Structure 1
Amino acid sequence: MFTPIESALGALLIQAATTSYILLEGKVIGFSSVLYNSIFRPNIHSVSILTGLLLSSQFVKHNLPVFVSSYSSAVTKTSTFYGSTLSYLISGLLVGFGTSAGCGCTSGHMLAGLSRLRWRSFIATCTFFTTGVITTWITNNYKQIESYKEPNYWYDDEFVVFKKNWVLLLTLVIVGQLWSYYILPRLGSLIEKERSNSLKNKNILRGVLGVSSGFLFGCGLLISGMTNPSKVTGFLSLFSPHDFDPSLAMIPFFCIIPNIIIWRKYLPNSKEENVEKVVNESNKVETAIRKKPAFESEYDLNFSNATDVKFLMGNAIFGIGWGMSGVCPGPAILTMFGEIGSLAIGNGCVYVIGFLVGSYLQKM
């Protein structure tokens, strides 16, 4: 079922998380690298974001349980394989291998890359979206167990779910925007003014930023429906109009487009564009960075537009894995945390294990 309001509010939370993190820390949030680095190369950035995801999983589970998704052991009614534990393991392997070779996933390429208007990310998104659509069509993965009499593009005109949760949903969005655009930037400016601040204090603030960004991002993924495999496969069901669910189209409208407007103003478009030559008092020519994030001396961004065969094949493989299960790294992490919180090891955990193995094999 089409959930325009909930998906739009979730997209606004994701928008606040991604923008605050890149403007203050100078980095994009890419969950394929966050997950891999948290296990194999732990650092404050990845671990703090992962912690925020854990908190968001528990928060939504206890306060907005209607938005919690689980990976059913039988997603389709046309096959005993798709939706099985083995299929989630294979999907995780493909996604892990593909995102490693393709240098990103839906968060890194689609959300962050398109927000930066990167040609490379546009090619990556087109590639994995196309293979995802084809895989969904070939496997009939959109044919879920639930038998809907109405098309998936219909919506509840009485907005029952929203009306039951509107106070907390709107509070989350408003507080998230205030925290991201008002409170955190002022904390950052205080750090810049305090010359005697220590690296320890800066790292504490970096940790707070990572946790809050991960929390808002996780809440956004859950509320928008991006953690629900049936919504994802529904969105990929372009060849089956009756099964097409346009909910996730709210992500471009309420996350990517606002990010494009904001990021074009504050982020450098290239390394060369962001560096200028200045003459100091001794008449010596030096270089200076024009645009800087609050917590770092310069943005840590990839400006490459290379799209070689490995890159294209990696994104194609990612799309196949994505289409098989309707799951990508960020939502898988959230579902894994939900399963662990319930003292269970389910398909989300199996998917994450497959992802880590696939990523490790590609990097060997």
Structure 2
Amino acid sequence: MIERIEVFVTELPIRLKRIFSSGSYDTGPAGQLLGKPVFVKIHADGVVGCAQIRPISPGHFVADTTQSVVAAIKEIYGPNLIGRSIFDIEAITEMFDLRLAGNPAARAVLDIALHDAQGKALGVPASSLLGGRCQDTIPLEWSVSLADDIAVMIAEAKRAVDEFGIKVLCLKAAGKKGWREDVRNFEQVRKAVGDDIVIGVDPNTGWTVPDSIAAMEAMRPFDVGYVEQPVGRRDLAGLAEIRRNAHGVPLMADESLFTIEDATALAEAKAVDVFCIKLYKVGGLTPARKIAAVAQGAGIPLNCGGLATVSTFEAMAAAHFCATIPARRTFGAAEFVFGLGPIGRDPLVAEGAPQIRDGAVAVPQGPGLGLILDEAALEKATLLREVVTR
């Protein structure tokens, strides 16, 4: 039974700033809680399940903040978990729905920690709890930030390809200069990295329907690999119209996909070709598997997103999920590369952190997430700690 839950807001070793059409991605200055990741330890029957999620607000499309995640766990979710079995996932998911609907980042970090605890209790990897492995290595995508100077975007793209062997890039788009500038950016990056690299585009809802159709047509000569969420999250009719005019360029849903109900609506509307699942956005591994089932029924492949900024714990949760999906039902590559070292090593991992090799990463074989926490590093990084007990 769950005896105690510890919640930590932890400092990051670097500050990451990125630009999106819908706002900025900023982990914040040192010492500030807002923008920092939340680490959770669930103590139950001699095992400790660990997980970490960084809410990406403010400045982006998910409502959770660091403070709201801590409050949701401390005041609502945590007290209702005490005394429950770590294996009662469906009952816990129902409790989340009934006690405090929404709050996907808070739900995600708890759901992942529960799976880590289950894996440790049984001595099996988290992927074994989700249906077993279909893939042992996961190809990685690199998301390239918008920049006023295209040379900055080119340098980032070339670093991803040349230094880490990345074979899939995603260019942020819908900057202030309009879609024609996005096309010029795409052409320049394509020339810089060559024809063998898949390059997608993510306007983060910043284009209109006519802009999207025009931009996709203009990018076709440069081999655009896919377009991710060009228009607003609730504009399923607009997405469907873009898809009808895409001439074979796959259209991916991100901001439109938070829940199982969203997945069903997107499938029924025939609005997109691909679902992008981010664990912090959908609420963890349990709902991710359910959305994957909707996708399978509708013949829609899956992409795994989320930067996992300097968080190997967050990255490996996504890796275990990806491992359970057959390669033929996946699309592109997984986005969690920033949790694997390119912008800084995760200080919270004592053992088990995998390395990027030829643009891919191996899924850990150890119990749970397969990572060993550095307790001293956690104590040093802690900005705020809360404890939930009986």
TM (norm. structure 2) is 0.24
Name the TM-score, length of structure 1 as normaliser: 0.25
Tell me which protein shows more helix as a share of its residues: 1
More strand by share: 2
Per chain length, whose mean CA-contact separation is higher, i.e. which structure has more relative contact order (CA < 8 Å, sep 6+)?
1
